[in-house]
Structures are given as structure tokens and as C-alpha cells.
Chain A
Amino acid sequence: MDFLIEKATALGVPTLLAQVGAMLAVCAVIILYISVAAMFMIWWERKISAHMQVRLGPMRVGGWHGWAQSIADGVKLLLKEDIIPTQADKLVFALAPIVVFATALATYVIVPFGPGLMVKDLNIGVLYYISISSLTVVGIIMAGWSSNNKYSVLGAMRSAAQAVSYEVPLVVSVLGVIMIVGSLNMQTIVEHQAGRWGPLPWNWMIFGGGLQVVGFLCYFTAALAECNRMPFDIPEAESELVAGFHVEYSGIRFSMFFLAEYANMFVVAAIAVTMFLGGWRGPDFVSPLLGATLGPKVAGVFWFLTKSYFLIFVMMWLRWTLARLRVDQLMHLGWKVLLPISFINLGATGLWLVLKDMR
């Protein structure tokens, strides 16, 4: 974004206008990306689930393998009547989907799509993500309470308990990487994973960069719980709570919740890729074709998206493989399994860093 502002001021545009214009432009690009990516992911998830259950999934809309199914669904949701329950708290009911979607949007600020390709390279990058993502649950509680429905309140309370419990192992599992790199900045973390590890070309955090395999697994599990995905989707739990906090939502408000869920899935995968899987690093194969300025950026975006979507595929795979946890099992896993493991990982990483310095 700074790059855009500099370009605009160099052309003689006033600073304020340039800043506002750049903000709006970047925001529009990200909203466009979220919508298109979410529609693709919904279609993809339906195809994956179908093939895992030996079905075909959407086949008709648009011709080839029903690729236009999500577009048709989206248009249908936008055209539906806007229903607010009479007993609902109307203001909070209307604000809740906006809060959930705005937090999902705000987390995209620190996603490093490629070398130099991010909205704003914040010094507190990882901390920013952790603090902003904790806002989602506020929107969920607002939605659950304002609907004035027992199932909604139950779903919202489960969601709050889950988010507070899994926030702790999530943060502690990431700390190992931050200790090794010594910075919270996303691009610095990616830079740190450059180079080779013995015969292998990957100096990623889960390999030679820091041997953070345990940290990665803890992060991924806790992150699944943070975005309410299977097997941690008890806040929604179709079979017992109907749909949890968004029972009363329909039409465009419901679609905002849905969009935010898929947007969160991508951010969680993107942070995992940045922290543990080398970010946008990968063989640069397009530079000979596109030149030295554009080539590395295109290759970076390609590898970043490939790795992220692979992790999203794993999330979908888990969803259609594992059964939902009970509430007590969920708390047991969060507090008695994940938290001690991530603390051991933190201690071991610290010990390793101290011993490495002494040598």
C-alpha cells in the first residue's frame, strides 16, 4: 500500500487523497479476492465432500462440473428477503455479521502474498493477527444473543468457551517460531526461512529452520478450533443445535457469516504457511519468462497460494473424515493435551536456542 501512496504523490496527488484512494483500492481488491476465493472454496469443498462419499456433487450449473454453482447460490442469497425476528435486538442483530466479516477482512492486512506484496508490513504482524482474530467471537456472541433463540445462545456460549480455551495453545505454539526469528514481522519470518537444509532445499520452520513440527501441529489444531471447523464445530453443530449462533440469519446477513468463515479458513492457512512452511518461498520458474522485477512476485504468489490451498484441502479432508468432539472432550483436548504439549515445545525451543548460543 505504501508503494501505491508513493506513486500517487509522485504524480502530484495530494497526500490525503492518495492515502484514502490507496486504502479504498486495496480494500476493494481484498474484498474481491475474499468473495471469489470463498465461492471457489465452497464449490471445491462440495466437490471434495462428494468424492469422499462416492458422489459427484454439483454437476449441472455452468457446464463443466457445476463450476457456477456457488455463483448461483450467491445470487440466490442476495435476492432473498431480509428477515429479522420480531423479538430480536435489531441493532445488535444487524451489527453482528458486520463485526464478524470486518474482523475477517482486517486480518488480511498482514498476509504476505509474495515478496513485497502485502497490505501493510506491520512490525507486530503476528500479534496483530492474534489480537484481531479474537474479535470474531464478539460478533458470534452478539449474533447468538440478539437472535433471542435458545439454540443461538447455546451456540454462542460454546463458541466463546472454545475460543477462549484454544486461544492459549494457539499463541504459545506460535511463540517458538517468534523466539527463533526474534521478530513479529511477517516478511522477516519468511526471510528467516531462506536457504537450504543439508541436501534438502527447504529451510522451513518445520524442517531445518527450527524443527517446529510439534508447534505446527499444535497451531493447526488450535487454528481449526478458532475458525469453528470440524471436528471443533460444536458452536454450529447442525445435528444438535440446528446451526448454532446463525439459526435466525438468512439472506445476505447469513452469506456474510459464511463468507467470513471461508475468509478465516484462508487466513489461518496463510499464517500457518508463513510461520512454518516457508511462506512464499519456492523454486522461481517464471523469472526467465517475465523478467527479474515481475517474475519473483508471480512465483511467490503462486507458491504461497499453492501451499495455502493445500492446507485448506487438509482442513476439508479432516472435516469429512473426523467426527465432532463432545464439549468435555473439546475442553480436555484444549487444556490437558494441546496446552502442555505447546508449553513443552516452547521450553525445548528456548533450551535449544540457549545451547546453540553457548556452543
Chain B
Amino acid sequence: MSVEQGLFYFLAAFSVALALIVVLAQNIVRAAVALIFSFCGLAGLYILLDAEFLAAVQVLIYVGGITILLLFAILLTSRIAGKGVRVLNEQKVVSGIVAVVLMVLLGLAATRGFEAPAELPKQPENTPRIGTLLMTTYALPFEAVSILLLAGMVGAIFLARKEEK
């Protein structure tokens, strides 16, 4: 077993274990903190795949942006951050079934759906390539996503400002 394989298994187990804590934790702040470390584990897996840019953006957006805002919202809502408040989902059986079915489907898709390449292409300098592709071949989807985000932002501001009238 090489170092990379060992690292892969370690990071995979780390991410999955923390994701389980996210779902099962009794306290919502603990769940959010576990979510942060789970995202970090995923970023580590991206680095193993030579996708450095994706890993850095994963940490920057998911950890530095989204989860921080999540924690911010939790702390502002005083009742759910307190101790002894039930935060677990009541529908354990249904969610368990959905999770198992989804896992089987994803497993089938991963093993049967795609042919595994014999050797992974090595592309060490992939950041400039991503930039070039986004600005040339995939310019239209990129702009569409931008407009979607802008619409989301305008909507959020509209909802937040409504009370002032």
C-alpha cells in the first residue's frame, strides 16, 4: 500500500465519520462544526486527485463562507443553540431508507456507469486551464450561473428588507 492509498483511506474514513456526526449529533452547533471538518476531508481528497484549485475553492467557499454563515445563523437563533433542545429529525426510518437507496444507486453508477480510465491524466498546472476554459468553451454556462446567483442575491436582499416598509 502506497502513501497515497493510505492517505485516501484515512481521508475517506475521516470525511464519512464526520458526516455521520453531522447527521447524528444531538447538538446543532456540534453538527455544524463536524460539517466543517468533513468538508476539509473532502478538500484533502481533491488534492489527492491533483485538483488543487478545486480543493482550495472547496475550503474557501464551503468552510470559509457557507458554514460560517450557517454557524452565524445558528448563534443568532438563541433557542436551537441551547443545550437539551431536540434537534434530531423525527423521520429516522424514511431518511435511512432514502440514504441506503441513494448509496446503492451511486455505487452502481460509479462501478457500472463509467469506464475507469487505465491511467489518470496528470495535469499539474490546471488552474490556468480552468480559467481559459471558463472564459472560452464554457462562457455561456458560466454567465448563466452568474445570472442565477445574481437573482438569488437580489431575492435575498428583497426578503431581508421587506420589514422596513
Residues of A within 8 A of B (CB): 16, 19, 89, 91-92, 95, 122-124, 127-128, 130-132, 134-135, 137-138, 141-142, 145, 153, 156-157, 160-161, 163-164, 167, 182-184
Chain A residue, CB-CB nearest to B69: A164
- Selected A-B contacts with CB under 8 Å, 22 pairs: A89-B27, A123-B52, A123-B124, A124-B53, A124-B127, A128-B56, A130-B60, A135-B59, A137-B64, A138-B33, A138-B63, A138-B68, A141-B68, A141-B75, A145-B29, A145-B75, A145-B81, A153-B75, A161-B72, A164-B68, A183-B128, A184-B127
User: Distance in Å from the Cβ of B131 to the closest Cβ of chain A?
Assistant: 10
B86 CB–A CB distance under 8 Å? no
Known: A16-B3, A123-B125. A131 touches B56 (CB 8 A): yes
Most buried by A among B27, B40, B64, B127: B64
Chain A residue, CB-CB nearest to B81: A145
Q: Decide: B127 and A123 in contact? CB cutoff 8 A.
A: yes
Chain B residue, CB-CB nearest to A138: B36
- Compute how far the CA of A89 lies from the CA of B29 in the bound complex, rounded to whole angstroms: 10
- Compute how far the CA of A138 lies from the CA of B68 in the bound complex, rounded to whole angstroms: 7
Which residues of chain B in 34-67 are interfacial with respect to chain A, using CB atoms and an 8 Å cutoff? Answer: 36, 40, 52-53, 56-60, 63-65, 67
Chain B residues near A137 (CB-CB < 8 A): 64, 68
Chain B residues near A89 (CB-CB < 8 A): 27, 29-30
Chain A residue, CB-CB nearest to B40: A135
Known: A123-B52, A131-B57. A157 touches B127 (CB 8 A): no
- Compute how far the CA of A157 lies from the CA of B29 in the bound complex, rounded to whole angstroms: 13
B76 CB–A CB distance under 8 Å? yes
- Compute how far the CA of A270 lies from the CA of B129 in the bound complex, rounded to whole angstroms: 28
- Compute how far the CA of A101 lies from the CA of B105 in the bound complex, rounded to whole angstroms: 41
Chain B residues near A167 (CB-CB < 8 A): 64-65
B80 CB–A CB distance under 8 Å? no
Q: Decide: A135 and B75 in contact? CB cutoff 8 A.
A: no
- Compute how far the CA of A156 lies from the CA of B76 in the bound complex, rounded to whole angstroms: 11
Most buried by B among A16, A137, A182: A137
User: Distance in Å from the Cβ of B51 to the closest Cβ of chain A?
Assistant: 10
Interface of A, secondary structure class, is: helix
Q: Decide: B56 and A127 in contact? CB cutoff 8 A.
A: yes
Q: Decide: A142 and B33 in contact? CB cutoff 8 A.
A: yes
B71 CB–A CB distance under 8 Å? yes
Chain A residues near B76 (CB-CB < 8 A): 157
A-B contact sample (8 more), CB < 8 A, given A138-B36, A164-B65, A164-B72: A89-B29, A92-B30, A134-B60, A134-B64, A137-B64, A156-B75, A161-B72, A167-B65
User: Distance in Å from the Cβ of B22 to the closest Cβ of chain A?
Assistant: 14
Chain A residues near B72 (CB-CB < 8 A): 141, 157, 160-161, 164
How many interface contacts (CB-CB < 8 Å) are there between A and B? 85
Chain B residues near A183 (CB-CB < 8 A): 128
- Compute how far the CA of A182 lies from the CA of B57 in the bound complex, rounded to whole angstroms: 18
Known: A127-B56, A134-B59. A160 touches B64 (CB 8 A): no
- Compute how far the CA of A163 lies from the CA of B60 in the bound complex, rounded to whole angstroms: 12
Known: A142-B33, A160-B71, A164-B69. A127 touches B60 (CB 8 A): yes
Chain B residues near A164 (CB-CB < 8 A): 64-65, 68-69, 72
> Which one of B56, B57, B67 lies within 8 Å of A138 (CB-CB)?
B67
Chain B residue, CB-CB nearest to A136: B64
Q: Decide: B52 and A131 in contact? CB cutoff 8 A.
A: no
Chain A residue, CB-CB nearest to B125: A123
Chain B residues near A123 (CB-CB < 8 A): 52, 124-125, 127
Q: Decide: B71 and A141 in contact? CB cutoff 8 A.
A: yes
Chain A residues near B56 (CB-CB < 8 A): 124, 127-128, 130-131
Q: Decide: A19 and B3 in contact? CB cutoff 8 A.
A: yes
Chain A residue, CB-CB nearest to B82: A148
Chain B residues near A95 (CB-CB < 8 A): 33
- Compute how far the CA of A163 lies from the CA of B65 in the bound complex, rounded to whole angstroms: 9
- Compute how far the CA of A19 lies from the CA of B4 in the bound complex, rounded to whole angstroms: 12
User: Distance in Å from the Cβ of A108 to the closest Cβ of chain B?
Assistant: 16
User: Distance in Å from the Cβ of B108 to the closest Cβ of chain A?
Assistant: 34
Q: Decide: B75 and A157 in contact? CB cutoff 8 A.
A: yes
User: Distance in Å from the Cβ of A140 to the closest Cβ of chain B?
Assistant: 10
- Compute how far the CA of A163 lies from the CA of B67 in the bound complex, rounded to whole angstroms: 13
- Compute how far the CA of A91 lies from the CA of B68 in the bound complex, rounded to whole angstroms: 19
- Compute how far the CA of A278 lies from the CA of B36 in the bound complex, rounded to whole angstroms: 36
